[in-house]
Amino acid sequence: MSEIPKYIGRSIDVLAFRGGQRAGDVLLEQSLADQFSTGEICTGLQKLAQRFILALLTERGSVKYAPTYGTDFMIALRQGRVHNEADMLATFALSEQDAAALLVDEESSTDPDDERYRTAELAAVTVVPGFANLTIELRSQAADGTAEFILPIPIVV
């Protein structure tokens, strides 16, 4: 079934983390377009996911005219305050609260449930010097098991 009808009545965003699938591990690419594609648009869970990632990975104070946007997550990593999985769990827990506040603040009750933030948990974490692998379970306000991942669709220019 085509994905296009699923976009009807929804608001869209540009896909910033490209390559996502309904299932399986995929290495996402942070880009808006490449030599093969003029980019994609997304909606639903994908929008929520990239909003969460943007909020989590933006250093608070780094955006000149939005000084309160972002979290201290990357600051903690950059400053070497995370040495092991326990540190990562603690840091993520603190940052998730900040990100959650930002995301909820952006939402309204009329937004689709699958675009509204509920929780994000660190399902798995591996910390080695120079690298960190995080598996995050993100939940929307949609009842568990009811939200459908709507695939991004390409923009034709």
Partner 1 sequence: MAIAVQSLADLDADDVEQAFAFAKQLVLEKQPNIDTKRGVINQLVLGLDAILGAAQQTNIDLLRQSQSLQAIENNPTLADDDVVNAVISNYRLTRRASTQAAGEVTIVLSQLLAVTIPQGSVFEAAGQQYTVDAAYAARTAAGNVLNDTDRLIQQIDVDQFAFTVNVTAVTAGSDAVLAKDTQLIPLSPPTSFLRSFAANDFTGGVNAQTNSDLTALLQEGLAARAYSNRVTIPSTIKTADSAIYPMVTTDFPNIEDISIVGYGDAEMIRDQHWLFPLSGGGRTDLYLRSQQSTQAVSLVKTATLIDILTDGGVWQFSIARDDAPGFYEVSKILVRGADPVETGFAVTEDIRGLDLTGDDVYVPDLETVMEGVYSRYQASTIRFLDTSTPTAGLSINSSTQDYDVTAVTMPLVKPVQEFLGDRGVRNPAGDILVKAAIPCFLSLNFELQRRRTDSTVDEASIKSNLAAYVNTLGFPGRLYASALHRIVDEALPDSIDAGPIDLFGRIRRPDGADRFIRDSSVLIIPDEPEYFVSGRTVIFVLNTTNISITTNNIDVPAV
Distance between CA 89 and CA 126 in Å, rounded?
10
Residues 89-148 that bind partner 1 (CB under 8 A): 103, 106-108
Q: Map residues 29-58 to x or -, x wherever contact with partner 1 holds by CB under 8 A.
A: ---x----------x---x--xx--x----
Stretch that binds partner 1, among 61-69, 71-79, 89-97, 118-126 (CB under 8 A): 61-69
Residues belonging to the chain: 157
**14 part of the interface to partner 1, by CB under 8 A:** yes
Nearest to 10 by CA among 112, 118, 110: 112
The alpha-helical segments, DSSP class H, found in 63-131 are: 73-78, 85-106
Residues near 84 by beta carbon (within 8 Å), at least 6 away in sequence: 127
* Given 10, 28, 89, 132, the residue binding partner 1 (CB under 8 A): 10
* Given 29, 61, 66, 78, the residue binding partner 1 (CB under 8 A): 66
82: left (phi over 0), alpha (psi -120 to 50) or beta: beta
Positions in the binding site for partner 1 (CB under 8 A): 7, 10-16, 32, 43, 47, 50-51, 54, 63-66, 69, 103, 106-108
